[in-house]
Amino acid sequence: MKIAVAGTGYVGLVAGVCFAEKGHDVTCVDVDEKKVKMMEAGNSPIFEEGLEELMRKNNAAGRLHYTTDYAGAYRDKDAIFIGVGTPEQPDGSANLNYIATVSRQIAESVERDCLVVVKSTVPVGTNDKVEQFIHDFLTRDVKVEVASNPEFLAQGSAVYDTLHAARIIIGTESREAEALLKKIYEPFGLPIVSVNRRSAEMIKYASNDFLALKISYMNDIANLCELVGADIDAVAEGMSYDARIGANFLKAGIGYGGSCFPKDTKALKYLAKQYGYQLKTVEAAVDVNAMQKTRLYHKACKRMITFEGLKVAVLGLAFKPGTDDLREAPSLDNVKLLLENGAQITAYDPVAAGNFRKVYPDGAVGRGSISYADTPEETLEDANICFVFTEWEQIRSLPPETFKERMRIPLVYDGRNVFDVKGMKEAGIEYYSIGR
């Protein structure tokens, strides 16, 4: 089928590439000409395992195209997928301006009947508004329906998650739209759950917020474990054997980040408020996560007199391994506090350092300073204290002795419970983690 995808970010580009991999003819649309040329050369604007390889393969096969000419791209397609951003606004609601812009462009460009499919995460009821908005601005006598098809991708494994999804959720209001979406996804050979549009929109929020709840619950339990002398890793292992609970999302740490959980929990909280309802469980998850992000920093404050002039090693900047995404990353909150208190930071991340530099360039920042190292070992050299914010394999594989040998003071605050408590202490390291 002939498909257009609006937006070449995390959602849109992965979807477009995977549709092409399954044999569809795909045109990816973006407003940035420089980005388009980059993708035409087979280079991905985002770091995602396996993405560039599939881009180059399908570019060469002639199934994958990129353009800034939205009118030409939307004119004659069977389906147009919208994968643009819906960033969080100050009040927690979703900003739908990009959705509206693309919807109007589609309305003014389509020359044949087509299905518009919203993959972006949007509040319940948005697809109804998108359909009406497109009908309001149609310039030709064509039939355009709107469907919901939320994504369920984990950054760092988005390509795999798309090609091997546990299920495909499609939300439609007609048998014709349902049949077309099923035909598009038929080559994937995956289970399809077909519901109405509003249910599909809610499934996305309910799924993400449930996982956020699970993470915050484990972090809350971890904090209590520290007080009562229990070990959160042992507690999580014991829980994981219960099929009703499952083994995933039981790992305690310094909170969730990224483009989904923080935004989606706040958006669902805002939606409930609009209907006069209070989602107390989701509000609790948001509150716990906000406090958890800087828990280790405040624990370190009780140990240190000051951070002024101290060399601080920061291992890991991305919100999770496998991505260069810094959105809502705990590193941002902690580095800000450290710099405000005069720390001299040396930071390391194998992928996200470039993006972090855009926020904090090398050099003096307020009372502190920041520089970037090429290896974890270089980061630790002569450090007075070390914080671990991302569990990259390059960091996980560090022997405990490395901290002892490289650091001036072997003092480590591990926000991801990467290292063995006993092993670190036996190596002569003063070691603090979460819930252990």
Whether 18 sits among the annotated catalytic residues: the reply is: no
Q: In what order do the strands lie in the sheet with 311-315?
A: 363-365, 368-372, 344-348, 311-315, 385-388, 411-414, 430-432
Q: Looking at 18, 28, 225, 260, which residue is catalytic?
A: 260
pLDDT at 92: 87
Over 90: is that where the pLDDT of 284 sits?
A: yes
Confidence class for position 417, pLDDT limits 50, 70, 90: very high
Is-contact 408 381, C-beta < 8 A? no
Q: Which long-range contacts (CB under 8 A, 24 or more apart) does 137-142 make?
A: 137/103, 137/104, 137/107, 137/108, 138/107, 138/108, 138/110, 139/107, 139/108, 140/110, 140/111, 142/110, 142/111, 142/112, 142/113, 142/114
Which H or E run contains 139? Answer: none
> Any idea where the domains of the chain sit in the sequence?
2-195, 203-291, 295-432
Residues linked to residue 27 through DSSP beta bridges, in sequence order: 4, 65
Over 90: is that where the pLDDT of 152 sits?
A: yes
Work out the average pLDDT over 312-329. Answer: 96
Cα dihedral: 146, 10, 282, 100 (round 10): -40
Give yes or no on whether 2-195 and 203-291 have one common fold. no
Instruction: Using CB atoms within 10 Å of the CB of residue 337, give its burial: 0 to 12 exposed, 13 to 18 middle, 19+ buried.
Output: middle
pLDDT at 403: 98
* Percent of the chain whose predicted confidence (pLDDT) is above 90: 97
pLDDT tens sequence across 36-93: 999 999 999 999 999 999 999 999 999 999 999 999 999 999 999 999 999 989 998 8
- DSSP assignment string, 91-133: TS-B--HHHHHHHHHHHHH--S-EEEEE-S---TTHHHHHHHH
Task: Note the pTM of the prediction, 2 decimals.
Answer: 0.91
| DSSP 8-state symbol, 88 | B
Name the superfamily (CATH) of residues 2-195: NAD(P)-binding Rossmann-like Domain (3.40.50.720)
Name the superfamily (CATH) of residues 203-291: N-(1-d-carboxylethyl)-l-norvaline Dehydrogenase; domain 2 (1.10.1040.10)
Work out the average pLDDT over 117-123. Answer: 96
CATH topology of domain 295-432: Rossmann fold (3.40.50)
Work out the average pLDDT over 345-351. Answer: 98
Which H or E run contains 187? Answer: none
Residues linked to residue 147 through DSSP beta bridges, in sequence order: 117
pLDDT tens sequence across 209-255: 999 999 999 999 999 999 999 999 999 999 999 999 999 999 999 99
pLDDT tens sequence across 379-401: 999 999 999 999 999 999 999 99
